Structure formats: C-alpha cells, structure tokens
Structure 1
Amino acid sequence: MKLVVLGANGRTGRLVVREALHRGETVTAVVRSDAKRPMIKHDLLNVVVGDPCDPKFLSQVFQDQDAVISTLGGRMPTKKATSIYWMSADAITEAAWDAGLKKVAVTSSALLFPPKRLIDRFLAAIVRNVVHSANRMEQTLEKTNLDIVVARCGFLTDADETTYRAERGSLPEGGSSISRMSLAQFLVDAIQKPSSGHQVYGVSGPAA
C-alpha cells in the first residue's frame, strides 16, 4: 500500500509513520518545513515539504497513492490553531477527488459524542474551538464519496502502550484517554482493513 501521512512530524504522526513502515507500507510523510523532517531514514519513506491545507499541493502528493492518514490538530485550543481540522479536511477532499484517492483516516475529538457526564460538558465548553472545528471537519468529510474512518479519542498520553479499544459510534466505557502509540496502531489498522462509507469510532486505551 502507498500511504500519505499528514502531520508526520507530530508526536502521533511520527508513530504512524514508524508503524506503517514496520508493516512494510510505502509512506509519503508530509511536513511543513525542512526543519520538521522526520529523523527516521527508511527505503520505503519519502518526505515532502508543503502546506497540508493547500489542495493543489495535496493533489500532487496524492497522485498514485492508496490512502491518507491525517493526525493534524491544533496544539492549542484557540480558534486559529484548531482551524487546521476543517481547513485540512477541505483540502483533503478536493485533492482526493482530483487524484482519485479513496480512503482517508483522521483523528478527531471524543467530545463530539453526546456527553455522558457533567465533566464532559464542562470540557466541551472549555475547548469549544476544538469541538467546533473537529465537527466542521467531520461534516465536510461525511459529505464526500470517500471511504472515511474517524478516530474520536480523549486525552492523548505518551505511555508505552499499544493496545486499544475501538467502538463504532461511541467511546468505550471509561475510555477517557489513549496512548499515541495505541492511536497510531488503530489508524494503520483502519487503513489496512477493507471498509467503505463514513465510519466514526470512539478509540481508547484498555479498560482499567
């Protein structure tokens, strides 16, 4: 499989690149600048520099590719930072149409699920820009004819853990967090497994 990874220089994106290469996939890692190139060297890895929100750039990158995984997200919960969710979704959908790429997996927020606890409502209010932008991203992707897998997750940790739980349409019980390694495992699994349509999963770490 030929796979494009957006956000390849991020803490989750780097793990996605590493996992995909470990499984023998050919990876094109997209980064914003030469300074953000992944440190890893591999015969199956190609690194390209450009703006992941530029549909013309992505259209070139997506040529002859099978799938794309996006781990893009705002590093701060500001309106400007979180706009990367929907801006990249706009670019992905346009570029995928032009290039004939069909399968896309993206990361999103578990706060888009109906709140079960008071603290969920509280968190959603605090990071309302994240919720708004992630929701706009998902709505954009849902309107396409692409095969979409959305990974909604809670807090991301740097724990040395690769096990995950994934539940379609809801967050697994007690699933408030997941390690980045586990999320990377899920994203690569999701791309490798045959699927069609628009699928939303709640993804979390193992039950306590």
Structure 2
Amino acid sequence: MTDSMNEIDPTTSKILVLGATGGTGRLIVQQALARGYEVTALVRLPEKAADLKGAKIIVGDARDETALRQTLKSQFAVISALGTGVSPFREMTFLSSATRALVSAMKAEQVPRLVAITGLGAGDSRGHGGFAFDNLIFPLLLRNVYADKDRQEAIVKDSGLDWVLVRPSILNNKPGGKPVRALTDLSAFQGGSIARADVAKFVLDQVRSHTWLHRAPLVTW
C-alpha cells in the first residue's frame, strides 16, 4: 500500500503529534500532511507553531491529561516526538510525566496506536553509542535525561496499547533519503547517525505498520 492521499484509510487518517515544534517533530508534521494525514499538534507555545501550515494547532501542556483527552477525541494514533533540555545536576521528569498522562488519556479515549521516539542510550541500547558518547557525553550531560527516557519507555511497554518505540542514533539535519537500518540486535553496533528526515519517515511508517509492533528498534544509517 502506498501513502498517497487517496489510499489512506479515513478511519486511520487522524493523528496527534506531540513535540511538533522540535526539529524532528516539524518534519513529522510536514511529511504526515504530505501523505494525506489529518494532523493535530498539541503545543505549549503557539508562536513556535506558526509555520506548521495545514496542521490543527491546539495549545496545551502535554502533561495535562484533561487537555490530552480533549485533543485525542476521534484520533487514530499518537506520535510522541517530545524532547527535553539537558540537565546534568537535577532529576528530569517531563518525559515520563507526559507519557504517563498520555497513556491514561489514550486508554480513556480508546486511541490504539502510540509511536514514541526515545533515543540511542535508552533501555538495552545503552553502551552502543561509541566511545565519546558512552564515556563522556552520556555520563556528563545526558545521564538524567536518559533516566527519564528509561521511565518513559517502561510506561509505554506496560501501557497495553499498540506501541512502537523508536530509538534514533545521533541525529543530524542532513537531507534524508539514505537507506535506514532498524536494529534490535545491537551486538555489532557502536555509534552511528541518521537524518531527522529519515527518522520522521520511519516513525510515520509505524502508524499503520505491524512490523515493529511492541518492539523498540534502533534506527540508523
């Protein structure tokens, strides 16, 4: 099945994107609209969403279950591209708090499909980022962020939803279009990078695909 507008099933055409104003989130919105999806974006700062033409913009906090339930009505799927700042010295809870509220709201509104982006270093992908990432960047800058990503992944896995967790390798802003490898066996993998555009494409493919259902592939070039 192709992704042309005429071939999208209308019962699966409505998706909610969280984190739509981030680097990868913007590309997800743009590519989803190009495929013919009806896209809703829940954003905290509407001025950052001014260029997301074609998407329905709703202002709200991703941690607010009431706001999420209102936004989720009639949606088929949710893509979470939520990110968070780097904080080496304090506990981070935004991702897990937002995901906990999202899962509860999706169950209440009977929205079945969740595709959530986490990252290389979450769960059993830790220790596969290459020497500099694993020994310098991760412990010095990202330790608290990834502790929260681990909590986020655990919430998704225990959700009972039709979920896919997508763990990109190091993100870059290069043009997409290269072949993407999706890996769950990381025994021979160390380091790697991928364009945000290719991550966006892979994530959107998971909205209706069962290939990676209930799994957490690492995606890389």
Tell whether the structures are fold-level matches, with TM greater than 0.5: yes
2:150 counterpart letter in structure 1: N
More strand by percentage: 1
User: Which of 39, 63, 67 is matched with 2:73 structurally?
Assistant: 63
Cα deviation for residue 119 of structure 1 reads: 4.0
Distance 2:195 2:16 in 1: 22
Contact 2:22-2:83 at 8 Å conserved across structures: no
Q: Deviations over 1:10-43 (max 9, x none)?
A: 111110000000000110011112212241322x
1:182 counterpart letter in structure 2: D
Scaled by the length of structure 1, what TM-score is found?
0.88
Which residue is equivalent to 1:22?
Answer: 34
The SS at the match of 1:41 is: coil
1:162 equivalenced with 2:174 (yes/no)? no
Q: Deviations over 1:44-100 (max 9, x none)?
A: x21111001111110111111000001111132456694222111111111101110
Cα deviation for residue 104 of structure 1 reads: 0.5
Aligned residue-pair number: 203
User: Which of 153, 162, 171 is matched with 1:138 structurally?
Assistant: 153
Distance 1:137 1:161 in 2: 27
* Structure-2 change in CA distance of 1:115 and 1:55 (3 Å): same
Distance 2:92 2:208 in 1: 28
Cα deviation for residue 198 of structure 1 reads: 2.0
2:171 counterpart letter in structure 1: L
The SS at the match of 1:150 is: strand
Distance 1:39 1:4 in 2: 17
1:54 equivalenced with 2:67 (yes/no)? no
Unmatched tracts of structure 1, length 5 or more: none
Give the aligned CA root-mean-square deviation in angstroms. Answer: 2.2
Contact 1:172-1:202 at 8 Å conserved across structures: no
Distance 2:138 2:99 in 1: 21
* Structure-2 change in CA distance of 1:4 and 1:79 (3 Å): farther
Q: Deviations over 1:129-185 (max 9, x none)?
A: 122000000011111110111111222111112332212354984552111111111
The SS at the match of 2:31 is: helix
Unmatched tracts of structure 2, length 5 or more: 1-12
Distance 1:196 1:66 in 2: 18
Scaled by the length of structure 2, what TM-score is found?
0.83
User: Which of 192, 197, 201 is matched with 1:176 structurally?
Assistant: 192
